[in-house]
Amino acid sequence: MKERFEYIDSIKGFAIFLMVMGHVIAWNYTDYKTVCIYDFKQLPNIKLGGLVWQIIYSFHMPLFFMVSGFLSYKIYDWQNFFPFLKKKISRLFIPWLCTIWIVYVLRGAIGYWFLLCLFELSILGFLMMVVMERINRKRRLLFDIVFILMIYAIFRFSCVTTWKILGIDLGRFVGALIPFGMGVLLRKYKSLFHVFIEQSWFYTIAILSFFILFISRYFEDLEDVI
């Protein structure tokens, strides 16, 4: 029987709610782009909608990918690769391939990018987990962090991020690699992270860090207003 994490179910539910909320806010305006760019000169209702939209979109998809990484962690071996690949093709790639054409006919755009992104991350994650188990048998957290950052740097500063076929962005998974990797590490070292999670200061630091990272995106706008 698979191990069930109730708090992960809660996080998934929260992320789904945020995704729906973000789309509802955006579709409430005639011009979708009015909420995609927060501007202090906008009308009050647009400015408020834009602020909420920006807050949601600053972390809800990374949260999804972090949960995916957490749930995908498993001790694999090379001999499991083709069964794993077959499973991911049937569960992620084929549904994405079938869905994009329906969306394109109805909306004139290729959607559901996250399914392709998750498919690519799943394959890459499998390879990363196998390698990490082989070369880091003593399970040193710092070693795994450095390894994931190295993989990210290789993809980030190579031409992978520019790969496109028929207008489909194949390199978008690179931006989701860090939260996905964080999820993998949270699962792999969950006993270690539980020690931090049980500390009251952990949540204070997490909230403050998010606030600082989010508000820093608007420092230039704040300077204009001040």
Residues 169 and 216 grouped into a single domain:
no
Residues 83 and 164 grouped into a single domain:
yes
The domain in which residue 144 lies consists of 75-178
Residues 157 and 198 grouped into a single domain:
no
Residues 174 and 197 grouped into a single domain:
no
In the chain, the percentage of residues whose pLDDT exceeds 90 is 23
Count of the separate structural domains present in the chain:
2
Residues 173 and 112 grouped into a single domain:
yes
pLDDT value for 226: 36
* Residue 156 counted as domain residue: yes
* pLDDT tens sequence across 111-155: 778 889 999 999 999 999 999 999 988 889 899 999 999 999 999
**Which has the higher per-residue pLDDT, 78 or 2?**
78
pLDDT at 224 over 70: no
Considering only CA atoms, which of 123, 121, 113, 116 is closest in space to residue 85?
123
pLDDT value for 7: 73
What confidence category does residue 104 fall into, taking pLDDT thresholds of 50, 70 and 90?
A: confident
pLDDT value for 46: 67
- Tokens standing for residue 111: 């959607």
* Residue 59 counted as domain residue: no
Residues 82 and 117 grouped into a single domain:
yes
Distance CA 183, CA 164 (A): 27
Highest mean pLDDT among 10-14, 59-63, 67-71: 67-71
* Residue 30 counted as domain residue: no
* Residue 89 counted as domain residue: yes
Beta strands in the chain (DSSP E): 164-165, 168-169
Residues 120 and 160 grouped into a single domain:
yes
* Residue 217 counted as domain residue: yes
Residues 199 and 174 grouped into a single domain:
no
Considering only CA atoms, which of 130, 56, 121, 131 is closest in space to residue 93?
121
**Which has the higher per-residue pLDDT, 42 or 103?**
103
* Residue 60 counted as domain residue: no
- The pTM (predicted TM-score) of the whole model is 0.81
pLDDT at 73 over 50: yes
Distance CA 136, CA 56 (A): 36
Distance CA 177, CA 182 (A): 8
* pLDDT tens sequence across 168-184: 788 889 988 998 999 89
